[in-house]
Amino acid sequence: MSSTSEAAFLAPPTGKPVGQSVAMHRLLRKLYPIGRSITGEGVRQTLRMLEQYLPAGLQVQEVPSGTPVLDWVVPPEWNIRQAYVRDTQGRHVIDFANHNLHVVGYSQPVAGWFTRAELEEHLHSLPEQPDLIPYRTSYYGASWGFCLAHRQREQLQDEVYEVCIDATHDPAGSLTYGQLLLPGSSEEEVLISCHLCHPSLANDNISGLVVATALANWLADRPRRYSYRFLFVPATIGAITWLAQHQETAVPCVRHGLVLSLLGGPGQFTYKASEAGAAEVDRAVALALRDLHEPHELRLFSPYGYDERQYCSPGFRLPVGCLTRTPFGEFPEYHTSADNPDFVTQQQLTGSLRLLRRVCRVLEQNQTYQNLSPYGEPQLGRRGLYKTVGGGLDGQQWQMVLLWVLNQSDGRHSLLDIAERSGLPFQLLHKAAVALRATQLLA
């Protein structure tokens, strides 16, 4: 952790550096209380905080409400100041100030008294999980509501209740998103996309934000063949807005991409492939999981899920997959108040970052080589190539790595191809290619 940007990530803006896993979890805890939605001050506050931890260059974009974006329109900006349900004795039996999942996202403003029966039509709870608050939204319909634990709901006994939702839907507002570009030696890009619109859900979506932030800091201090574009966007409408605004500029530059979410909770890795199914990024993730001996599941593409479905839509067909641990909807804490900072562990965040670093190394180092001595096996001994490279390798193992690279380097097979066919770790094959180039056996 030697670079200025990484030091800033570890201890912004002052203070002593801490371990990276601790730093990620601290940032997650800071982001957790912010009341986010697809538009509004919560998104801006989140981006301001991320900007303190990211390498320099985060661009915050404001897209006016009412702007056509592909087949959609940017919605009015939603902000909420307070919301509560109060009984006849003046007690707040539900209060947005206590937990920002208590209000249905994008609720219409409400002020007045409602009978208990009328109020019940606007309440959401989970009888099967009676102590948890669910997460609900109503982005594109004129509605309102409150979410609460089912046990709390069963205690509502008054005949009437006062309801207040002090919220605004501003047609003169905007949608806000952030993007950070780390230029490489090539204008070809790797796209890393995270959604930032969920309030107080630590695994979904804050874990993706903090792991992406750590990855950006790691990449910022390294030489890069590719340029890396990090997007922090509201789900669905944010990705669609970015695509609409960049379809003639950045979109054609994207060569590989990943959507990140659910990277801090329990469970093994799950990777959902891009629509192509065998894009280089799909193979790189599978290879990194194999080489790191990480338990995992590889799934085929489906047009439902996170923003990979926008990037992979027929008009774009970008090679973008989705990396998570246990997928959305497949763990009981999903979209409930149980998805809190204690549900996310430092170990899982660190393991996710380690995997992403490995994926980036594969993408950066995957080259296709030409054997310059292709007629028979070249004499390796007189070139000093039989010397062990350490790391537990003996001379015979190292020879096998060299021979695989030489045999397959016909100008058609990349290192990724060789790693898949040979079963050998990608990093060893890359090390062999570097050694063979140094002796003029590869170009």
Q: Is 87 annotated as a binding residue?
A: no
Q: Is 293 annotated as a binding residue?
A: no
Token pair listed for 281: 């990024």
CB 31 within 8 A of CB 209: yes
CA pair distance 395, 387, nearest whole angstrom? 6
CB 179 within 8 A of CB 249: no
**Shared domain check, 184 and 140:** no
Q: Is 204 annotated as a binding residue?
A: yes
CA pair distance 297, 300, nearest whole angstrom? 10
- The residue among 144, 170, 196 that closes a domain is 170
Does a structural domain hold residue 443?
A: no
Does a structural domain hold residue 159?
A: yes
Provide the domain count of the chain. Answer: 3
**Shared domain check, 313 and 230:** yes
- The residue among 365, 397, 430 that closes a domain is 365
DSSP letter for 338, please: T
HSE value, Cβ hemisphere, 13 Å, CA-based, for 354: 15
User: Residue 89's domain spans which residues?
Assistant: 78-170
CA pair distance 83, 166, nearest whole angstrom? 6
**Shared domain check, 111 and 199:** no
Query: What CATH number has the domain bearing residue 238?
Result: 3.40.630.10
**Shared domain check, 281 and 134:** no
Q: State the pLDDT at residue 397.
A: 86
Residue 192 zone, left/alpha/beta (φ > 0; ψ -120 to 50; rest):
beta
Token pair listed for 411: 């100008």
Token pair listed for 341: 């900072």
Residue 200 zone, left/alpha/beta (φ > 0; ψ -120 to 50; rest):
left
**Shared domain check, 341 and 255:** yes
**Shared domain check, 301 and 422:** no
Query: What CATH number has the domain bearing residue 381?
Result: 1.10.10.10
Per-residue pLDDT of the chain (443 residues; tens, 9 = 90+): 334 455 556 555 445 445 788 999 999 999 999 999 999 999 999 999 999 999 999 999 999 999 999 999 999 999 999 999 999 999 999 999 999 999 999 999 999 999 999 999 999 999 999 999 999 999 999 999 999 999 999 999 999 999 999 999 999 999 999 999 999 999 999 999 999 999 999 999 999 999 999 999 999 999 999 999 999 999 999 999 999 999 999 999 999 999 999 999 999 999 999 999 999 999 999 999 999 999 999 999 999 999 999 999 999 999 999 999 999 999 999 999 999 999 999 999 999 999 999 999 999 999 999 999 999 999 988 888 876 555 556 678 889 999 999 999 999 999 999 999 999 999 999 999 999 999 999 99
Integer CA distances (angstroms), 339 to 83, 101, 201, 336, in order: 22, 11, 5, 6
- The residue among 343, 365, 387 that closes a domain is 365
Query: What CATH number has the domain bearing residue 109?
Result: 3.50.30.90
**Shared domain check, 195 and 278:** yes
Q: What's this model's pTM, rounded to 2 decimal places?
A: 0.94
